[in-house]
Amino acid sequence: MIKVEIWSDINCPFCYIGKRHLEAAIAQYSQKQTIVIEWKSFELDPYASPAPGTDNAELLAKKYGRDLEWALQMNREITELAKASGLDFHLDKMIPSNSFDAHRMLHLAKSKSLQAQNDLKEILLSYKFIEGKNINSHECLREAALAVGLDQEAILAVLESDKFGQDVRRDEDQAGAMGITAVPHFRFNRVNVIKGARPPEVFLKMLEDCSEFEAGKIIEF
């Protein structure tokens, strides 16, 4: 078995691209049935609370101290990268939002199965970057969770409490202890690491190396 742990944020476009690259590699891997994926929580900005109607490009420009045209160009470049991975990003529709509750919902999904967690991760990323939905909206989170077969009462119990909040913080503390400062961050069998949305062939080589018990490899951006 190859266990792939992925520290990722729903607010990170490269995390969606990296997900697609890993999936492309798995599709080519001869022992794909031996791969298990677990998503770990990571917030790019845990304190984010953008006001309703905040424009994504303006927020990006402000964050990096650049002008609006720079931010728009960055969005165009990310959109092209996504297109090469088969993703149709619409960053002009993207709603800036906090991702903490979405991460809590992913932990609820994991309590059912890793497959449910993976399915929910896909829906939330699509909501964020393709459909332009607010991933901090409890109605959106409820809709997404129901779509992967989670129980309505369990969903509401999470949304109306701080349940699984400690699980999110535990993942983030683990990331801090490992020196993870950027995502996506992929850890294979708790030893080998790929940092960033590397091309599918890099992921495929890592999977093949893991099957041959090669340990201690780190592939940087």
User: What are the domain boundaries of the chain?
Assistant: 2-219
More confident site: 49 or 202: 202
Give me 35's structure tokens: 């791969």
Q: Is the pLDDT of residue 69 over 50?
A: yes
| CATH of the domain spanning 2-219, picked from 3.10.180.10, 3.30.70.2190, 3.40.30.10, 1.10.10.60 | 3.40.30.10
- pTM (2 decimals)? 0.93
Backbone angles phi, psi at 133, to 5 degrees: -95, 160
121: helix, coil or strand?
helix
Pair type for strands 185-188 and 192-195: antiparallel
Give the C-alpha separation, 75 to 77, whole Å: 5
For 161-219, the pLDDT digits (tens) are: 999 999 999 999 999 999 999 999 999 999 899 999 999 999 999 999 987 665 556 66
Q: Where are the alpha helices (DSSP H) in the chain?
A: 13-28, 56-64, 68-84, 100-112, 114-126, 138-147, 152-159, 165-177, 200-211
pLDDT-derived band at 66, boundaries 50, 70, 90: very high
Give the C-alpha separation, 52 to 65, whole Å: 21
Give the C-alpha separation, 211 to 166, whole Å: 33
Mean of pLDDT over the chain: 93
pLDDT at 221: 47
pLDDT-derived band at 47, boundaries 50, 70, 90: confident
**CA-based nearest residue to 205, from 14, 75, 25, 66:** 25
Give the C-alpha separation, 16 to 84, whole Å: 12
For 91-107, the pLDDT digits (tens) are: 999 999 999 999 999 99
Q: Is the pLDDT of residue 220 over 70?
A: no
pLDDT at 81: 96
H or E stretch at 194 = strand 192-195
